[in-house]
Amino acid sequence: MKQETLVKELQKLVGKEKVKGSIDWRLSYAYDGTPTGYKGIPDAVVFPENTEDVAKILSFANENRIPVYPRGAGSGLTGGSAPLQGGIVVSTEKMNRIIEIDEANLAVLTEPGVVTYDLQKEVEKRGLFYPPDPSSYKFSTIGGNIAENAGGPRCVKYGVTKDYVMQLEVVFADGTVANLGSKAVKSVAGYNLKDLIVGSEGTLAFITKAYLKLIPAPEAVRTAMAIFPKVEQAAQAVADMFKVKVIPTACEFLDKNSIVAVENYAKIGLPTHAEGLLIIEVDGYEAIVDELIHRAIDVCKKAGAIEVKIASDPKEREAIWNARRAVSPAIVQLKPKKINEDVVVPRSRIPELIKNVYKIADKYNLMVVNFGHAGDGNIHVNFMYEPHEEDRVKEAVREVFLLTLELEGSVSGEHGIGWMKKEFLPLEVKDALEKMKAVKRALDPNNILNPGKIFDL
Amino acid sequence: MKQETLVKELQKLVGKEKVKGSIDWRLSYAYDGTPTGYKGIPDAVVFPENTEDVAKILSFANENRIPVYPRGAGSGLTGGSAPLQGGIVVSTEKMNRIIEIDEANLAVLTEPGVVTYDLQKEVEKRGLFYPPDPSSYKFSTIGGNIAENAGGPRCVKYGVTKDYVMQLEVVFADGTVANLGSKAVKSVAGYNLKDLIVGSEGTLAFITKAYLKLIPAPEAVRTAMAIFPKVEQAAQAVADMFKVKVIPTACEFLDKNSIVAVENYAKIGLPTHAEGLLIIEVDGYEAIVDELIHRAIDVCKKAGAIEVKIASDPKEREAIWNARRAVSPAIVQLKPKKINEDVVVPRSRIPELIKNVYKIADKYNLMVVNFGHAGDGNIHVNFMYEPHEEDRVKEAVREVFLLTLELEGSVSGEHGIGWMKKEFLPLEVKDALEKMKAVKRALDPNNILNPGKIFDL
């Protein structure tokens, strides 16, 4: 179908004002958060306002074999929402209402385009808590978080987005509208298609509503920092914390290069010879949080921490977190280019991961910075490089993925596969890949939903 | 294939001693826990000892279009493991090793035939905790629990079986062996087939190994009982508990008829005019459990409880739980037959559910007893009846399901669909049913895995 015809047909379907076909609009929606730039330009950008609009668009696209690229805030890091082969970008920007906060049942019914942070603020007004907190939470949307099964620092205690999705209203590729899951806390009625859709990166269905579980907001929080001469000591502290029955809300790790970068950037007095820094947060009942943070700190001391600090007020808490927040702005000062991979390994394998990542960096003569969510083994491995080093970086990244799999980990903890990591997926999932493809063909036989993502058919 | 030929072929495949073909064996494995008796007799019963055995059996069955019925302990209540049309029962009884308890990563790798209780005891020796606790946990198996996504009283705080399955080794219908999920705490690499298999009642794949998440065992537990004149008051107390930030480990409900039945049976001094009894348990840190149980009890008093009791020692705790445990033996004294449905509704709809179930019972002149997991809205509705009342019971059950769906609930909280509830599934999942069937056809094109369960193709 000609581009102009497509735009006109879509305008007839859902209304002129909801469909944009000019080159400026199309270019603006060719990008997402992936640092590689755009891969393709869509033929049209559509802003549906409700489920019916989405169903009409998908039915039409399915009949005419036109690719559809679901899009939240476009903040993904692996190209999940990037249009690859023309077609239609379908943005959830206009589907941004929180429909109902169901206080009696600790849940919220929302449209997919609501920004995660906005939803959190809204439920917090009622003493409730929506824990998933991807770094992008101030601009990424609930729909995008669900499509990518977003994690975040708090997931070591509270789990990932999937753990909060009770029911989804979705539109399948053929325009079928269905509710998956249940508003009841548990349900075993038929196949769990809900959790299949979560994390499927927009390739199996378009999410139009989500009924999300909330929990009572924790009464209190305590934050501490611990600095270790050796990376093994930091890893040991993480493991031992669980043994004294402390499940931290967050347990963030900075490696030597991160510490140096932050110190050079922010001058906050970090010891630049240290190999590991942990930021530990606990939350829960007022009567217990002090005990918990002390248990955590005792564990750190026993593991060999040379410096520990418990925040005594919100200002000190902010100061501790600022060290973590400074990592990203600090490291981009180091080199003009960066590639950030979010590998994840079983907690106990973190020291092996870090040591060997350094070896790989040495082998390819590259700068590497490691930091991330140590509590759940999810480490962001960042190679910082000059443009001419790109080929070596690619080799190094490949070795990091192989290392991760050797350590029984996963090539993506929270960023997804998108188009960026397609070549590495088969190394991890092996014979399950054909079964994933079979499911894709069953639910989207014409391959219109986000084609070219996760795997090629 | 002739029955004798099938047995011989299977014996050639996996070894003579692992295949039973005599009528006594076949009859013994025709049954499961479903009170309706058997539906069909299998042609052979096979006891594989490892993944390779299972892969051989499934490849063979797939080539020859022979039904395969995966079976754990056969304790299911909806006919999940019942052979319907001849074929092969494949029992996991000989795959009953706990392979490794991974203390550093808080996880256990196990074969599917391990009894849930045995696994719990084993991990508890190391200060670890596997929370899922279906009523059958002393004899049901991990594999069966996963296939049915079993719940239990503790799931209001700790979640269901699904929440503890990190990785599964499965054999698909065509004999493909694959690992689904990850040993890492989080992973977004490809489709979440793991959570699709959990709860699929053996219709999509055969589970051969499970890597399960464990948590640190709670330090302490407190138990209390509260008795309410009105069912609404009990329901209000459940809702209010979350408002004071108490997430009970268990929150069990007995209705008036349950209370009367238990009192007549066990003479423990329960007030038989009361409409609701709650058993509340909290667990966690030693320093906080007393405060939590008092918060819960205060909520009960405010909601109108006429009697509250906190167990002051393990003996009193046992006495409280005995009231709950007495329900099943007590109610079977009431009438010769019983049908137990495990509907689930959003917590706030419990009073409406109970009131209207009584109305339905009145309309059909039947005795009904309601009890169960109030904390997550999962109520076991038991019609007690004489054999000649069977037709009226069927009508009443149908109305209970329709009521449940009107209250935005689910027709099964934890027992599954099996063959027993097939006719009600479409009322709940509506247009998603065709998508479930598409997934089944994609993963098991010859429909050999547990055919006739959940839905007919």
* HEC secondary structure over chain B: CCHHHHHHHHHHHHCHHHEECCHHHHHHCCCCCCCCCCCCCCCEEECCCCHHHHHHHHHHHHHCCCCEEEECCCCCCCCCCCCCCCCEEEECCCCCCEEEEEHHHCEEEECCCCEHHHHHHHHHCCCEECCCCCCCCCCCEHHHHHHHCCCCCCHHHHCCHHHHEEEEEEEECCCCEEEEECCCCCCCCCCCHHHHHCCCCCCCEEEEEEEEECEECCCEEEEEEEEECCHHHHHHHHHHHHHCCCCCCEEEEEEHHHHHHHHHHHCCCCCCCCCEEEEEEEEECHHHHHHHHHHHHHHHHHHCCCEEEECCCHHHHHHHHHHHHCHHHHHCCCCCEEEEEEEECCHHHHHHHHHHHHHHHHHCCCEEEEEEEHHHCEEEEEEEECHHHHHHHHHHHHHHHHHHHHCCCECCCCCCCCCCCHHHHHHHHCCHHHHHHHHHHHHCCCCCECCCCCCCC
pLDDT band at A153 (very low <50, low <70, confident <90, very high): confident
Give the model's pLDDT for residue B72: 98
**Same domain for A208 and A193?**
yes
Q: Quick check: is B439 in a domain? A: no
> To which residue do tokens 């003479």 refer?
B267
Q: Examine the fold and report which residue of B37, B72, B91 is the final residue of a domain before the chain moves on.
A: B91
Give chain A positions within 8 Å (CB) of B455: 190
Give chain B positions within 8 Å (CB) of A188: 148-149, 151, 199, 410, 412-417
Say how many domains are in chain B.
4
Give chain B positions within 8 Å (CB) of A430: 178-179
Q: Quick check: is B315 in a domain? A: yes
Tell me the average pLDDT of chain A.
95
pLDDT value at A167 more than 90: yes
pLDDT band at B262 (very low <50, low <70, confident <90, very high): very high
Residue A436 has its nearest CB partner, among B190, B219, B434, at B190
B192 and A198 within 8 Å at the Cβ level: the answer is yes
Give chain A positions within 8 Å (CB) of B180: 432
A201-227 pLDDT per residue, tens: 999 999 999 999 999 999 999 999 999
pLDDT value at B35 more than 90: no
Domain with A69 in it: what CATH number? 3.30.43.10
A92-102 pLDDT per residue, tens: 999 999 999 99
Residue A288 has its nearest CB partner, among B179, B216, B288, at B288
| Burial state string for B174-206 with b = 16 or more CB within 10 A and e = fewer than 16 | bbbbbbbbbbbbbbbbbbbbbbbbbbbbbbbbb
A329-367 pLDDT per residue, tens: 999 999 999 998 989 999 989 989 999 999 999 999 999
**Same domain for A158 and A111?**
yes
**Same domain for A102 and A212?**
yes
Give chain A positions within 8 Å (CB) of B284: 288
pLDDT value at A37 more than 90: no
Per-residue DSSP letters for A257-269? HHHHHHHHHH---
The Cα–Cα gap between B239 and A65 comes to: 49
Q: Quick check: is B156 in a domain? A: yes
**Same domain for B67 and B127?**
no
pLDDT band at A316 (very low <50, low <70, confident <90, very high): very high
B245 and A216 within 8 Å at the Cβ level: the answer is yes
Per-residue DSSP letters for A310-342? E--SHHHHHHHHHHHHTHHHHHTTT-SEEEEEE
Q: Quick check: is A371 in a domain? A: yes
Residue B417 has its nearest CB partner, among A102, A189, A245, at A189
**Nearest CA distance, B186 vs chain A (angstrom):** 5
Q: Quick check: is B293 in a domain? A: yes
Give the model's pLDDT for residue B239: 87
A429 and B287 within 8 Å at the Cβ level: the answer is no
A192 and B149 within 8 Å at the Cβ level: the answer is yes
**Nearest CA distance, B325 vs chain A (angstrom):** 22
Give the model's pLDDT for residue B310: 97
Domain with A234 in it: what CATH number? 3.30.70.2190
CB atoms within 10 A of CB A394: 13
Give the model's pLDDT for residue B39: 87
**Nearest CA distance, B280 vs chain A (angstrom):** 18
* DSSP bridge partners of B187: none
Question: What is the arrangement of strands in the sheet containing A378-385, beginning at the earlier edge strand?
Answer: A307-310, A220-228, A276-284, A250-255, A367-373, A378-385, A337-344
10 Å CB burial of residue B147 (0-12, 13-18, 19+) is: buried
Residue A189 has its nearest CB partner, among B193, B247, B428, at B428
**Nearest CA distance, B168 vs chain A (angstrom):** 11
pLDDT value at B409 more than 90: yes
**Same domain for A384 and A309?**
no
Chain A residue with minimum CA distance to B441 = A442
**Nearest CA distance, A278 vs chain B (angstrom):** 18
Q: Quick check: is B453 in a domain? A: no
Q: Examine the fold and report which residue of A297, A323, A349 is the final residue of a domain before the chain moves on.
A: A323
Give the model's pLDDT for residue B389: 96
Give chain A positions within 8 Å (CB) of B416: 188
pLDDT value at A145 more than 90: yes
Q: Examine the fold and report which residue of B333, B363, B389 is the final residue of a domain before the chain moves on.
A: B333
Domain with B368 in it: what CATH number? 3.30.70.2740
B298-350 pLDDT per residue, tens: 999 999 999 999 999 999 999 999 999 999 899 999 999 999 898 999 998 99
**Nearest CA distance, A430 vs chain B (angstrom):** 7
Domain with B203 in it: what CATH number? 3.30.465.10
| Pairing outcome for strands A165-172 and A250-255 | unpaired
**Same domain for A407 and A303?**
no
Q: Quick check: is A79 in a domain? A: yes
**Nearest CA distance, B149 vs chain A (angstrom):** 7
The average pLDDT across A187-192 equals 96
CB atoms within 10 A of CB B70: 26
**Nearest CA distance, A408 vs chain B (angstrom):** 6
Give the model's pLDDT for residue A35: 80
**Same domain for B192 and B106?**
yes
**Same domain for A171 and A62?**
no
Interface test with A, best of B102, B156, B157, B186 (most A CBs within 10 A): B186
> To which residue do tokens 């690719």 refer?
A67
Residue A442 has its nearest CB partner, among B180, B377, B442, at B442
Residue B443 has its nearest CB partner, among A127, A347, A438, at A438
Asked if B272 and B260 touch (Cβ cutoff 8 Å), the reply is: yes
Residue A429 has its nearest CB partner, among B148, B190, B215, at B190
**A241: domain range?**
219-323
**Same domain for B185 and B106?**
yes
Interface test with A, best of B162, B187, B443 (most A CBs within 10 A): B187
The Cα–Cα gap between A342 and A186 comes to: 32
B186 and A410 within 8 Å at the Cβ level: the answer is yes
Give chain A positions within 8 Å (CB) of B160: 186
**Same domain for A309 and A345?**
no
Give the model's pLDDT for residue A152: 87
**Same domain for A225 and A210?**
no
Q: Quick check: is A133 in a domain? A: yes
A373-411 pLDDT per residue, tens: 999 999 999 999 999 999 999 999 999 999 999 999 999
Give the model's pLDDT for residue B38: 83
What residues contact A354, with CB distance under 8 A and at least 6 apart? A231, A235, A255, A370, A379
B62-78 pLDDT per residue, tens: 999 999 999 999 999 99
**Same domain for B209 and B128?**
yes
Cα R_g (chain B), whole angstroms: 23
